[in-house]
Amino acid sequence: MKDCAPYAPPLEGETCFFKTNLLGRTCQRENSWGYDKGSPCVLITFDKQEVSAGWVPDVYTDLDELPPEMPLELRLYITNVTKDNRGFIPEMVWVSCTPEDPSDQAHLGAIEYSPWRGFPKYYFPIRNEAPYLAPIVAVQFLKPATRRPMTVECRAWSKNMVYSRAEGYGLVRFHLTLD
């Protein structure tokens, strides 16, 4: 296991170690995953059984490659990160979370992703052997409306990500209701 970073990707045969302390202070078990503060965290990862053995994402390397169906908010985020990164798009499988019903957008509120807005490419391919821990993105809903049930879809984005709502590929859907 290797402690990886964009400047220190794994070598052939090496596996990157994901550190759960990267998820931030709020999105931890000892802080009730933010639920006690009305800002729940949901942990997103790849199902090691569902991802094809050896699958490596084909990441976006040019802003012109971003698909038109990608949420505008994510497209703007990637554009800004690219500007801050001297014109280079970080090698990521990007993540977006949106309400299934567009009228719920205002009720869902702001969302924070940690440690990143997706999964760094250097964590792939996903391994099925212990003690490998697949990378995690903590999605924190900062102040969702109370007593309003919403269905949220979080989607992964790369050029070769298979997306099918009917088959459940490339996404996760869940219900969010705060009392």
- What are the average pLDDT values for consecutive 10-residue runs of the chain, which has 179 residues? 77 79 85 91 80 82 96 97 93 96 92 95 77 84 94 96 89 92
The DSSP result for 81-117, as a single string, is HHHHTTTPPP-EEEEEEEESSGGGHHHH--EEEES-S
The token pair at 33 is: 């995953």
CA distance 32 to 26: 8
Bridge-based pairing state of the strands 92-99 and 118-120? antiparallel
Residue 101 is predicted with a pLDDT of 93
Residue 146 is predicted with a pLDDT of 92
Predicted TM-score of the model (pTM): 0.90
Residue 134 is predicted with a pLDDT of 78
Number of C-beta neighbours around residue 156 at 10 A: 22
Residue corresponding to tokens 């879809």:
153
Torsion sign across C-alpha atoms 125, 134, 12, 53: negative
Residue 48 is predicted with a pLDDT of 62
Tell me: domain 20-176, CATH 2.60.40.1660, correct?
yes
Residue 120 is predicted with a pLDDT of 93
The token pair at 129 is: 């052997």
Domain coordinates in residue numbering, the chain: 20-176
